[in-house]
Chains A and B, each alone.
Chain A
Amino acid sequence: MIARLRMIGRSGLNVLQILGRSGVFVAMSLFGVPNLRRALPLFIKQLYAVGVLSLPIIVVSGLFIGMVLSLQGYTILVDYGSEQAVGQMLALSLVRELGPVVTALLFAGRAGSSLTAEIGLMKATEQITSLEMLGIDPLRYVIAPRLLAGFIAMPLLVMIFNVVGVWGGYLVAVDWLGVYDGSFWSNMQNSTDFYSDVMNGVIKSIVFAFAVSWIAVFQGYDSVPTSEGIGRATTKTVVYSSLAVLGLDFILTAVMFGDF
């Protein structure tokens, strides 16, 4: 009994210790005063790696999700004769929920895992230590540009995802299933509010970007520098990020749209 209690206590302390360490880690990476002239090229390189290179998967997924939503929505709504509302359904579900959440999940799988593996491998090959020994803080040089690139790239990817999704839905509903395009667009415009829908979606995407990038770089930096350790860290990044995104999504939705 005592042994079990002790075990629970120890693992609790362990979790708190990791949380504390990762908090200090992120604060030290972000609040160190960077030299803009040197930091900018690093940041742009990372923005390309995590942002631009994630574009294909985001665009393709956005297109298919928009198409599926439209198809599913149409088959249900047509029974009630309200298939014009498919535009409204499409826009609201994409902007409020699916855009931020699916993008964050894809981002964790595509960019998060590669950030973790890259940093983990840099650690395993002593590149991180050798930066330290050259008198260069790896938190500023390696971590900060990757974190910032994640923060900035993901909300932009969410916007692209939403736009492509709406376009995919339009293709299916209007061009294929024959919904009148005037009502498709006007229903969408009338029901979607810029602040309560679009901006809340953007806020969600910023929160998710923070969570996913943070988890990814921390897992890489904190990984055990062996091939097994890096493998485990990469898995952890995807699992923790996905759970964090889904959990945070519920909390944010409750705060934003729950009337209580």
Chain B
Amino acid sequence: MSDMAKQNDNIVEVRGLCFARGDRVIFDNASFDFPRGKITAIMGPSGTGKTTLLRLISGQIKPDAGRILVNGQNVPELTRNELYEMRRTMGMLFQSGALFTDRSVYENVAFPLREHTNLPESMIRDIVLMKLQAVGLRGARNMMPSELSGGMTRRAALARTIALDPDMIMYDEPFAGQDPIAMGVLMQLIKLLNQALSLTSLVVSHDIHETASIADKLYIISEGDVIGEGTPKDLMKSESPLVRQFMQGLPDGPVPFHYPAQDYEDDMLGGES
């Protein structure tokens, strides 16, 4: 496959990514491909750098080494202005929703349109109502963020994220802390929006079953490395003990239940803390 065709295939390509926080290595020469038009999920135990990966892709932080190509542009090398330009083509849904608390739902969704376009007010209204209709919150347009439930906050934030019709949306733990109904709604929305708007979605999550049921491709990362990659079906059948432990949610295995400690018996009889 030629280089050009390869670029078109993947909206984001990460090569040889190294990133450390202080002494803690988060990524050590990791590589990822996120195919265009698909839902790709990044899964792994807490603290393995899933959210960090999204922040690296969106250029909020810079890697120690490696290339992060988004639509062929190397993100760490972009100037500040180029970075802001690029971000208009990507959206990110935060765990908290991150709505602007001093504006209503309507104004939150209208905000990126007002900032980035010179559309007349009537057209802004049409677009905002369409986006709110897509997430089912057209009736909640006049509510303030403090009046919304957790699931509604995320849906309102999703409407704001798709307001500028991005090419790609990154979801940071979209299901965390949601009740089953809100979770079902969000799952359906992610899948539907991906199809209807021909988006590319990157979902960071550790809700295995929910994520596996909507994702086209899964990455499982642990301790700086990709330990599993493939379709959800392949990974469910994986022989790797680490992948099995994660996919089946086993309490003990390669990731031990006990934090490393001295021998239990010695500790109990030793008498020192």
Contacts and interface: CB of A to CB of B under 8 A. Distances in A.
B120 to A, nearest CB: 15
Interface string B89-129: 01110111011110000000001101110000000000000
Given A135-B84, A135-B85, A126 B116 contact: no
A130 B116 contact: no
Interface string B144-170: 000000000000010010001000000
Contacts of A129: 60, 94, 98
A132 interface: yes
B58 interface: yes
A55 to B, nearest CB: 22
Interface SS, B side: mixed
B98 A126 contact: yes
Contacts of B157: 130
Given A133-B92, A134-B115, A125 B98 contact: yes
Residue from the set A130, A132, A137 with the largest chain B CB neighbour count within 10 Å: A130
B60 A132 contact: yes
A127 B103 CA distance: 12
B54 to A, nearest CB: 10
A38 B101 contact: no
A136 interface: yes
Contacts of B80: 137
Contacts, number: 50
A38 B96 contact: no
Nearest to A127: B98
A126 B94 contact: yes
Interface residues of A, number: 12
Interface string A108-140: 000000000000000001110110111111000
Contact of B115 (A125, A126, A136): A136
B105 to A, nearest CB: 15
B116 A135 contact: yes
A133 B116 CA distance: 13
B96 A126 contact: yes
Contact of A127 (B84, B85, B101): B101
A137 B87 CA distance: 11
B87 A135 contact: yes
Nearest to B160: A134
Interface string A128-159: 01101111110000000000000000000000
Contacts of A134: 87-88, 111-112, 115, 160, 164
B96 A125 contact: yes
B21 to A, nearest CB: 14
Nearest to A28: B80
B267 to A, nearest CB: 32
A129 B116 CA distance: 17
A137 B95 CA distance: 21
Contacts of B112: 134-136
Interface of A: 38, 125-127, 129-130, 132-137
Given A130-B92, A134-B112, 18 more contacts: A38-B114, A125-B96, A125-B98, A125-B101, A127-B98, A127-B101, A130-B157, A132-B87, A133-B87, A133-B90, A133-B92, A134-B88, A134-B115, A134-B164, A135-B115, A135-B116, A135-B164, A137-B80
21 contacts: A38-B115, A125-B98, A125-B101, A126-B96, A127-B99, A127-B100, A127-B101, A130-B92, A133-B91, A134-B112, A134-B115, A134-B164, A135-B85, A135-B87, A135-B112, A135-B164, A136-B84, A136-B112, A136-B115, A136-B116, A137-B80
